[in-house]
Structure 1
């Protein structure tokens, strides 16, 4: 989820203040996606510029605050996001994939070393998340927090399966020299 769409979603029920959006965003994401308040206001400024939200100042006895409201265009944009499905694209860029691909290019021994090290780290994370969900989230009994832990577990399992596949495919390749080039 992009911060932009997350803020639009939080504005759907009604107007919110910037700091209120920050705290609600963090609560909804189980506390694992922390936002800098500056990032929230920068994103809100862009949403306002793009006509997706409007900002008005509210005043109390002590200060003026910015109150943000979703516009009809913002509701339309949010609706498009709700209906969007993953496109058939190459997998997203992530550090694990890049590291393994670069290690393979460096040679079979390096690739196996990297795969083994990453697998060990993922197994440790997987065990930690399964045994102690509170290490990741504040309230492991809350639905949002539980779903975050579930997502971390499923992703770790998927990464482990992918590393197994990488190792298997690497074993099926002709001997790879340290240059990473086929020597057969």
Structure 2
């Protein structure tokens, strides 16, 4: 497709919508992970370390994520990452020990690495160079919007239901992604 006729709106369903949904799931979880850790008996510093396992999982999975994406392709890798993230979130939600919560959070982080790299790889393949900066800018905005919307939904769920509802909400948003 010539660059002059390329429309960024064509990325709405395959890239921007799943990124928003995944961002809502992740963004909604980040504020409650320390609260969940404290409910399991963690001190505040330990709760912070548990939250840090999201980033450690991301760092740990970055290199293998590239290989996985090469094998599966971007679309299947994004779908697989969302499914594995859902499993990590379920594990964290059912945790009765800190190590189980930490493992679920680590799995979520690893899934974030695969999902993020797959969507960026897809964009660089399908978007003409002349539109790439705008596409990546929109992607960044969509991701940040998800991280803004997620905690708002999470706060409403905590008020209306309980902390556990935020985990189930994240599972649903990951599945939709």
Structures share fold, TM-score greater than 0.5: no
Larger fraction in strand: 1
Larger Rg: 1
TM-score by length of 2: 0.32
TM-score by length of 1: 0.31
Greater RCO, CA 8 A, separation 6+: 2
